[in-house]
Structure 1
Amino acid sequence: MTEITDVAYRPGLNAPIGMDVIDFAELRSRARNRQIDLAGPQRPDFHHLIHVHADADALPHTVDFTEHVIPPGGWLWVRPGQVHQYGALTRSRGTIVIWSPGFVTIDPPPPETPVLPGEPVRNAVDLALRHLISDYADLGSMTLEAHNRSLRMLLEVLLLRLAHARSTPPASNPANGPFERFRAAVERDFTRTHRVADYAADLGYSTRTLTRATLSATGRTAKSYLDARIVLETKRMLVHSDRASADIARHLGFSTPGDFNKFFRKHDGRTPLTFRSQARGTPA
């Protein structure tokens, strides 16, 4: 069993406040210095935008139990709090843009799978990245405040280009809209309450409004979204810790271990301990 490594945002000495741009070689160097196993599970508190160079090998990458392969020229966005693991990093080359939450004012939804922009979108995305890298390296030509403001704008351009690189444009979800507020509240309180009505009351919406907004943003109801978040955290704890099932149940806000087992089996089809043994490849 490999414990999850929580990784705090720590940019380079010459990086602007809140953002950094590094290549894969620099990532490996920083990991060695901080004694972080990149092949092991990590949970960073900042964004990762991973780009594999067009003339490099594909990069395997696992995000919350989903295995991806980032193709040459492709991109993958890992959000704060997601558990991810690099695979075969030494065999590929690429660029990673990292930034702390709040550095940019927009937050378009990340792609569910790696994005490989088609022409002519790819040219626009590549140009946006080159412009960002060039401005990032040009630290001394402006004040720090102006430099950070420029980088925020350029990163927003890159994110918008990537958000529209898919065949289906993302739905518009204002940062202070019902779904974004619900998503933030779920991240904060999913171990406290499992009732959509409680979130609706706290946020000042009706349950119907939250359900409609969540359906528009994710294609699932508010209850389904909340349950999926609880299931995900359950799987993280089962695979990456040795905590007993009853202890996990208490942590996640279930009144009894029986309710917890029933909930997990309804959504996964297995008991928590069966999932743990199968995910780890160990006898039940």
Structure 2
Amino acid sequence: MVKKRHIPEVPYRNPAGTELGIEVLTLGALRSRASGGHDLTRPQRPEFHLLMLVTAGTGTHTVDFTPYRLRPGSVVWVRPGQVQQFRSWARLEGPLLLFRPDFPPPDAASPFGPSHWQLTTENRVLAGTAADHLAVEYAALAHAPPAAAGRLLAHLLGALLHRLSSASDPRGPRYNDAFLRFREAVERDFATRHRVADYAHALGYSPRTLTRATQDAVGMGAKEFLDRRIVLEARRLLAHTDLAAAAIGARLGFPDPANFVKYFRHRTGTAPGGFRSDFTA
């Protein structure tokens, strides 16, 4: 019997048995946990944020088909729903934070943003200090009443996330309101809405306004932004599940398999079956 491939969806669970929405540990501690029978080298899709700061060693971590080479000062932020995979990480050291989407302050943990960036020497010191402070308080409060502990830890996590986010782009956010609303709508509805005009109508903008707003924010038009999100999900399902291409197309809003194949080939240069073969070769 051929073993079925799938993307394990990993829910948040604090092994300490607390109700806290955050776990603060280290990459070394996670490796020890993995040696007890938890296979972390397979692709998985966490339902929570996974944030690591590399302080020593080198290695590789993959997020949504992109392998990132890590070294001291590297930050990896895997957001809920992304497919991530621990690759060569035996020598990596540093803090690791796992936290639910609703744990930090609302403005501190966007579901969007870069998956990897490199800190400057100054920001490495500042981020390391913030992470150490969080770890000390977590150790002291892990068994305290969740409500009291959670407020303090959420505040400290928010401070660290703001530090890291500003370090990833010192110029700060440049996103306009129209793009932010469009981005959220795409993430929610990309499998059922494939036309920019439909998003524009639902959001109360003209298609031209959405296109201009998206171009200003991320350097591509609204249609390309939408298409990239659909194609990303198709790649995830092709690479990490055994669903037939027709079933994947139907899940993504293409009831006609031929239309899905044409759409995917036009935007990637290969057919769905060819992509799956190349990925699993």
* Structure 1 equivalent of residue 117 of structure 2: 115
Answer whether contact 2:5 2:242 (CA < 8 A) is retained: no
Mapping of residues 140-151 of structure 1, within 5 Å: 144-151=146-153
1:165 to 142, 164, 167: 167
Q: CA deviation at 1:199?
A: 2.1
User: CA-to-partner distance for each residue in 1:36-68, whole Å, 9 max, x for gaps?
Assistant: 421111000100111122xx2112101111111
* Structure 1 equivalent of residue 226 of structure 2: 226
The code of the aligned residue for 1:278 comes to: D
Q: CA deviation at 1:85?
A: 0.5
Answer whether contact 1:5 1:36 (CA < 8 A) is retained: no
Compared CA separation, residues 135 and 215, structure 1 to 2 (3 A) = farther
1:17 to 12, 20, 28: 20
Answer whether contact 2:53 2:73 (CA < 8 A) is retained: yes
Answer whether contact 2:58 2:89 (CA < 8 A) is retained: no
Compared CA separation, residues 134 and 178, structure 1 to 2 (3 A) = farther
Mapping of residues 232-243 of structure 1, within 5 Å: 232-243=232-243
Mapping of residues 117-156 of structure 1, within 5 Å: 117-139=119-141, 144-156=146-158
Answer whether contact 2:12 2:100 (CA < 8 A) is retained: yes
User: CA-to-partner distance for each residue in 1:120-178, whole Å, 9 max, x for gaps?
Assistant: 2222111111121122122179753232122112111111111122365342448xx43
**SS of match in other structure, 2:60:** strand
**SS of match in other structure, 1:138:** helix
After TM superposition, the score normalised by the length of structure 1 is 0.87
- Shifted more, 58-67 versus 119-128: the winner is 119-128
Alignment partners' CA distance in 2, 1:208 and 1:218: 15
After TM superposition, the score normalised by the length of structure 2 is 0.87
The code of the aligned residue for 2:256 comes to: T
Alignment partners' CA distance in 2, 1:48 and 1:178: 28
Q: CA deviation at 1:250?
A: 1.3
User: CA-to-partner distance for each residue in 1:213-267, whole Å, 9 max, x for gaps?
Assistant: 3334322222111100111111111111222222221111114222111211111
* Structure 1 equivalent of residue 8 of structure 2: 5
Answer whether contact 1:171 1:217 (CA < 8 A) is retained: no
Answer whether contact 1:2 1:40 (CA < 8 A) is retained: no
Alignment partners' CA distance in 1, 2:17 and 2:216: 41
Q: CA deviation at 1:87?
A: 1.2
Matched residues, number = 275
**SS of match in other structure, 1:4:** coil
Mapping of residues 1-284 of structure 1, within 5 Å: 2-13=5-16, 15=18, 17-31=20-34, 36-53=38-55, 56-104=56-104, 105-106=106-107, 107-108=109-110, 109-112=112-115, 114-139=116-141, 144-166=146-168, 168-173=170-175, 177-281=177-281
**SS of match in other structure, 2:167:** coil
Gaps of at least 5 residues in structure 1 are: none
Answer whether contact 1:2 1:41 (CA < 8 A) is retained: no
Alignment partners' CA distance in 2, 1:30 and 1:198: 47
